[in-house]
Amino acid sequence: MKVIKTLALGAGLAGLLLSTAHAEGLQGKVIGFSQIGSESGWRAAETSVTKQVAAERGVDLKFADAQQKQENQIKAIRGFIAQGVDAILVAPVVATGWEEVLTEAKEASIPVVLLDRGIEGPEDLYLTSVASDQVKEGRVAGEWLVGTVGDQTCNIVELQGTVGSSPAINRKQGFEEAIAGHANLSIIRSQTGDFTRSKGKEVMEGFLKAEGGGANICAVYAHNDDMAVGAIQAIKDAGLKPGSDILVVSIDAVPDIFSAMVAGEANATVELTPNMAGPAFDALQAYWDTGAEPEKFIITESKLYTPADDPQGEYDRRKGLGY
């Protein structure tokens, strides 16, 4: 025990000494980033934002695209260890099978930060993880609707994500939590739109037919913006005005939902920020500066955007990011 304490004290002192050397932040640090691949627009945006943030902070980012394969990620991490990088960021493609390679990183004293997805296994294998709280995203969307409709009766139709996927389960749960206790709000129909535009449109068409041509529907809640964009088209095809006849609230904050907001066709979206690297760099910097272990789970902000938040500006800011 005594040895460990002495070591810890030593490490702390070393950290203090080092902190003076790193007064300019992460300048000159070499950080490896093993990305899953380009599975979605959001993922592409996460990659470009990470590169942007790294450039702003003077980090030399080594980027490796795993093309959705864990073995590629493991190879990339081993490569980073061999190159002797200062830290490693990983967006793990699956939750299991990381013990061996992360132990290697630990033995090489390279801190690992997980981005946007967790892993199974001992928590001491990584420094921290940065992710969004999907339940909270749903809750923020629900709270917006509760605040917007006030005392009016509101029948909601829900476009769920892929059946069984964690964002679909959690975003549903959060939204239901938010509207629970408000008897005037109820979800009257809920179906999966598989997170895609075309299915979102098709499902919304069905809902509109089944609910008196849309007369009974007050709002649509979509688990992602793409389905909302599809639903908006279906509402227009049915001769109604999305955004006023039927309120549209969704999650993700991709550029196209902002152009819908500019046109007055979408009412609110909750951001799933692609900037997971910013908090990760902050945690690394704090760790190197003070030696303090950051929290194991860093939760990113789930910010609400409405047409009052300069949708045109948000669109312009995001459209180059790769969504």
Q: Of 66, 68, 122, which Cα lies nearest the Cα of 77?
A: 66
| Distances from the Cα of 311 to the Cα of 31, 42, 75, 206, 254, angstroms | 34, 18, 41, 29, 11
Is residue 211 within 8 Å of residue 157, measured between CB atoms?
yes
Supply 48's token pair: 């470009």
Question: Residue for token digits 């005005």?
Answer: 241
Nearer residue to another protein within complex by CB, 148 or 191 = 191
Whole-angstrom Cα distance, residue 17 to residue 36?
A: 36
Distance CA(257)–CA(306), nearest Å, equals 10
Q: Which of 237, 293, 301, 316 binds another protein (CB under 8 A)?
A: 237
Q: Which position among 46, 116, 256, 265 is part of the footprint of another protein (CB under 8 A)?
A: 256
Single out the segment in contact with another protein by CB under 8 A; choices: 39-47, 122-130, 272-280, 283-291: 39-47
229 binds another protein (CB under 8 A): yes
Residue 262 makes contact with another protein by CB under 8 A: no
CA distance 123 to 295: 11
Is 323 a binder of another protein (CB under 8 A)? yes
Handedness of CA 21, 24, 25, 29 (dihedral sign): negative
Q: Which is nearer to another protein, 103 or 155 (CB)?
A: 155
Question: What residues from 178 to 197 belong to the interface with another protein (CB under 8 A)?
Answer: 189-192, 194, 196-197
Kindly tell me which residue out of 12, 239, 264, 313 binds another protein, with binding defined by CB under 8 A.
239
- Rounded distance, CA 72 to CA 78, Å? 10
Residue 28 or 213 with smaller CB distance to another protein: 213
Which CB atom, from 6 or from 166, has the smaller least distance to another protein?
Answer: 166
Which residues are near another protein by CB under 8 A?
38-41, 44, 160, 163-164, 189-192, 194, 196-198, 201-203, 205-207, 209-210, 226, 229-230, 233, 237-239, 256, 322-323
